[in-house]
Every structure is written in C-alpha cells, then in structure tokens.
Amino acid sequence: MPTSAAEAARCRHLVVLGSTGSIGRSTLEVVRHFPDRLRVVGLAAHRNWPLLAEQCREFRPTWAVLADASVLPQVDRQAFPPTTELRVGPDALVELACAPGVDMVVASIVGSAGLHSAWAALEAGKTLALANKETLVVAGPLILELARNRGARLLPVDSEHSALFHLLEGRDRRDVARLILTASGGPFRGKRASELRAVTPEQALQHPTWQMGPKITIDSATLMNKALEVIEARWLFDIPADRLEVLIHPESMVHALVEWADGSVLAHLSPPDMRLPIQAALLYPERPPGPARRVNWQKLGPLHFEPPDVETFPALTLGYEAAQRGGTCGAVLNAANEAAVERFLAGDLAFLDIPRCCRAVLEVHPYEPRPSLDRLLALDRWARQEVSRWTHAHLHPIP
Ligand SMILES: NC(=O)C1=CN([C@@H]2O[C@H](COP(=O)(O)OP(=O)(O)OC[C@H]3O[C@@H](n4cnc5c(N)ncnc54)[C@H](OP(=O)(O)O)[C@@H]3O)[C@@H](O)[C@H]2O)C=CC1
Ligand SMILES: CC(=O)[C@@H](O)[C@H](O)COP(=O)(O)O
Ligand SMILES: [Mn+2]
C-alpha cells in the first residue's frame, strides 16, 4: 500500500476484466509486484466464483462482478470479503468498466464478449490496457474513433502489438516500410495438411512456448491467432495489410520487428512471458524491474525465422483478406472462428474444418464497408448461426 500522499497520487486504480483467466492472473502477479504503484479496485470473471472470491480476499477490491448471472445460486457470498460489493450480469460488467475513480481498465475477457466493456471503458475516458484483440478485430475503426473522441488512451497488451507500440513510439510513421509480427508456428509447425486430419483438441492445446487460455491456444495452432493479429495491427497502427508481414519464429523471443524505409530493422526481444507487456501497459511509460523473466544472452542460442506455410494454415490468408477489405469482414471472421473453435473443442468439428468453415461464412456474408456497431454485433450473432448450419451440413465422423 502507498505510504505517503505523493505515492498515493502516483498509484493507479485498476479494474481487471477477466481476472480469472491467463492474462487476468498474470496481471495480478504484476500488481503484487508493485503494491505502491497499482491498486485493484474492481475484478470481473464469467463464472469462476471460487477463484474470483480468492482474488477478492487478497486484493480487497471495492467491486467484483460475475458476468454470468446464472451462476449466482451456487455462489457462497461469505467467501467474498464484506467490503467488496458483488454484482452479477453483463450490465454490471459494463458499469464496472466505467466506474468512478478507475484510472485503467485491463480488458482480458476472451472473445467478442469483451467488446461491450472495452467500449464502455473508452467511452468513459479510461485508459484501456487491451489484451482482448477481438475488440479491435470486430470494430477497429469504431474503437479508435471512440478513443480519439473521448481522449482515452489505448495501450496494447498483445505481445506483438505491445512490442510494435514501443518500437514505434516517438518515431515518424511515414518512415515505416513494414511491420513484422512473429508467430511461434504452434504445435503443428512443419506438418502437412494431410497429417492434421485427425488432430485432437488435446494435441492442439499443446502450445510450444506460451501458456494461454484454450481459445487463443487453438488459434495459435491454426494460425488464426496471427490472422486476428494482422487485423488488430492494421487498425491499431493504421497501416495497410500489404505492409504487414508474418514471420514464423519458433523460439518466441522476438515478438515484432519494424523495418524502416532505409532498410534498418528494430526488433523487440524478451522471453515469452506476458507479465512484461502487461507491466509495460500498467506502468506506462515507465519500465522499472518487474517479475517477468529476462533474456539470458549467454544461453539464448540460435533464433530461427521462416515464412508461414499458408497452404497448410489457410487461416492466415483469411486474416489478410479481412484486413484488406475491412468493413464487416473482421466481425464475421472473428465470430465464425469463435464458434468453430468451440465446436472443435467439443469434438463436433475437425481441426482442418475450422478455417474451411470460416471461409465459407466470410464468403457468403452481406459485406458492408462502413457498418455501425449494432450492425457488427448483429453479424457476430449471424456468423455463429452460420457455423452451426455449416457444421450440420458437413457432419462427417472425425477419423
Ligand atoms: N493468454 C495470453 O497469453 C494472451 C491472451 N491474449 C488475449 O487476451 C484475452 C484473454 O485471453 P486468456 O487470458 O488466454 O483467456 P482465458 O480463457 O484464460 O480467460 C478468459 C477470461 O475471460 C472471462 N470470460 C470468458 N467469457 C466471458 C464472458 N462472456 N463475459 C465475461 N467474462 C468472460 C473468463 O472468466 P471465467 O474464468 O469465469 O470463465 C476469464 O476470466 C483474449 O482475447 C486473448 O486473445 C492476447 C495475448 C496473449
Ligand atoms: C503471447 C501472445 O501475444 C500470443 O498472441 C502469442 O503470440 C500466441 O502465440 P503464436 O505466436 O503461436 O500465435
Ligand atoms: Mn500475440
């Protein structure tokens, strides 16, 4: 806790949305490391009330939210400290995102379910530490316009985008030739499509370098994560898709590179540890020593780079197409992918069907170049129904 008035004034008041997930838990590790600089005033989860209660007992926030109200009958209110007000439902989540006295909102809910609360935080002028890439994939231009209009700062947490944000800071964007995002290649790097027909969720959930939640881990295996990141970067850095490149880098030590017009390249290196980009956002613009692992240059060994295999991993091509066309494409691709990943994890869809199904939905969707937020949300619902139809029409036993 801050000990003087000066320290208290420097202390940032945080709300962590999705505190029970992988990014949420890493965020709380960073907070634990900086008790004088960061104070948690609100925590939110979907249904995992035992972990939320444990986090509340440690961090003593003013508010806690469970976004899924149907979990309420199971909740033991005595598990929460009496000083924490527990609220339930999606409206409570949105209210928490714009609560008074909150400086920064960490958006670490997974999927487009995180969009409303991220939007509310920006609308209220809060600084948004954005891990939830789907918010920008679905509604990038609207989100950036909102942030501009409200004078709200948007700090990327996604490791590649955090790296690019810091590499580009203070530089003249007109001198950028290309932005390069690295990808680990996932657990199936080097495989041919014919070897991936019978992939199980357990195999696809074995990420080689990062410990993450299930949805993004499957996205890494299909390379859809990089597809979403191309769209995220397209809006965040206002750069056309043909100047965004993806490079497979299995060590996940280099997160992004900026190639300047004169041919020089700046790279961002750190071990694969999300506590670093999270800390960079929470304490921005300062970079004090924190809990993240550091590069050991003596033991680092060789770093490898290779082009992505888009024949085996066609999701990446979908990302480029959606980034180029813009409009409704991001929302439709994202929702189709979320629904397809859910079905794959449930055993209803084969691994190779994830990008096939996404392409089919993207191709038949009623494209609009400048959709409203309501239209994007309607298309999100529509795309999920289309995935259901597609799955039923293509039902075949998974070998
Ligand atoms: N994990 C990582 O290293 C990285 C993640 N990201 C991005 O960060 C986001 C979070 O990822 P990750 O932490 O891995 O995901 P997890 O699945 O680990 O955590 C998701 C969190 O969101 C909550 N949640 C899920 N659905 C809802 C909902 N409908 N309403 C409210 N809350 C909900 C979960 O609550 P509950 O526990 O109760 O289910 C949980 O707290 C994603 O957008 C991902 O792409 C980006 C870069 C790296
Ligand atoms: C940690 C992070 O930012 C993830 O988005 C990561 O990039 C996923 O790994 P892949 O590089 O395999 O997609
Ligand atoms: Mn990333």
* CATH number for position 54: 3.40.50.720
How confident is the model over 177-225, as pLDDT tens digits?
Answer: 999 999 999 999 999 999 999 999 999 999 999 999 999 999 999 999 9
Interface predicted TM-score (ipTM) of this complex, two decimals:
0.99
From the CA of 159, how far away is ligand 3's center (Å)?
A: 5
Give yes or no for residue 55 CB within 6 A of ligand 2: no
Quick check: 2 pLDDT over 60?
A: no
Give yes or no for residue 75 CB within 6 A of ligand 1: no
Nearest-angstrom CA–CA distance, 96 and 98 = 5
Give the model's confidence band at 9: pLDDT under 50 very low, under 70 low, under 90 confident, else very high: confident
Quick check: 10 pLDDT over 90?
A: no
Which helix (H) or strand (E) covers residue 154, if one does? strand 154-156
Query: Is 295 part of a structural domain of the chain?
Result: no
Quick check: 397 pLDDT over 80?
A: no
Nearest-angstrom CA–CA distance, 224 and 59 = 35
Query: Is 242 part of a structural domain of the chain?
Result: no
Q: What is the mean pLDDT of the chain?
A: 97
How confident is the model over 268-288, as pLDDT tens digits?
Answer: 999 999 999 999 999 999 999
> Was 270 annotated as part of a binding site?
no
What's the pLDDT at 3?
Answer: 59
Quick check: 364 pLDDT over 90?
A: yes
Which ligand approaches the C-alpha of residue 226 most closely? 2
Cis before 369? omega within 30:
no
Nearest-angstrom CA–CA distance, 15 and 114 = 14
The dihedral of CA 256, 362, 142, 278: what is its sign? negative
Q: Name the percent of the chain in helix, strand, coil, to the closest 5.
A: 50, 15, 40
Query: Is 139 part of a structural domain of the chain?
Result: yes
Domain that includes residue 45, residue range: 5-156
Residue 242 DSSP code: G
HEC sequence for 320-356 = HHHHHHCCCHHHHHHHHHHHHHHHHHCCCCCCCHHHH
What's the pLDDT at 166?
Answer: 97
> Was 149 annotated as part of a binding site?
no
328: tokens are: 């409704």
Nearest-angstrom CA–CA distance, 332 and 243 = 23
Query: Is 189 part of a structural domain of the chain?
Result: no
Which one of 30, 108, 211, 223 would you pick to mutate in the ligand 1 pocket, going by the greatest count of ligand atoms within 8 A of its CB? 108
Helix ranges (H only) for 16-158 are 22-33, 49-59, 90-97, 115-123, 133-150
Nearest-angstrom CA–CA distance, 301 and 186 = 20
From the CA of 36, how far away is ligand 3's center (Å)?
A: 29
Amino acid at 78: Q
Query: Residues 173, 152: contact at Cβ < 8 Å?
Result: no
Give the mean model confidence (pLDDT) for residues 374-382.
98
Query: Is 328 part of a structural domain of the chain?
Result: no
Quick check: 399 pLDDT over 90?
A: no
Nearest-angstrom CA–CA distance, 285 and 267 = 19
Phi then psi for 357, rounded to 5 degrees?
-65, -40
How confident is the model over 285-312, as pLDDT tens digits?
Answer: 999 999 999 999 999 999 999 999 999 9
Query: Is 23 part of a structural domain of the chain?
Result: yes
Give yes or no for residue 163 CB within 6 A of ligand 1: no
For the stretch 229-258, what's the b/e string if a residue is b when 16 or more beta carbons lie within 10 angstroms of its beta carbon? bbbbbbbbbebebeebbbbbbbbbbbbbbb
> Which residue owns the Cα nearest ligand 2 atom 3?
159
Nearest-angstrom CA–CA distance, 21 and 216 = 12
Quick check: 85 pLDDT over 80?
A: yes
| Alpha carbon separation from 87 to 41, 71, 76, 124, 354 (Å, rounded) | 14, 12, 13, 20, 36
What's the pLDDT at 7?
Answer: 66
Query: Is 276 part of a structural domain of the chain?
Result: no
Give yes or no for residue 367 CB within 6 A of ligand 1: no
Nearest-angstrom CA–CA distance, 115 and 111 = 8
Complete DSSP assignment for 59-98: H--SEEEES-GGGGGG--GGGS-TTSEEEESHHHHHHHHT
Query: Residues 359, 332: contact at Cβ < 8 Å?
Result: no
Give the mean model confidence (pLDDT) for residues 251-271.
98
From the CA of 289, how far away is ligand 2's center (Å)?
A: 23
Give yes or no for residue 308 CB within 6 A of ligand 2: no
Query: Is 39 part of a structural domain of the chain?
Result: yes
How many domains does the chain contain in total? 1
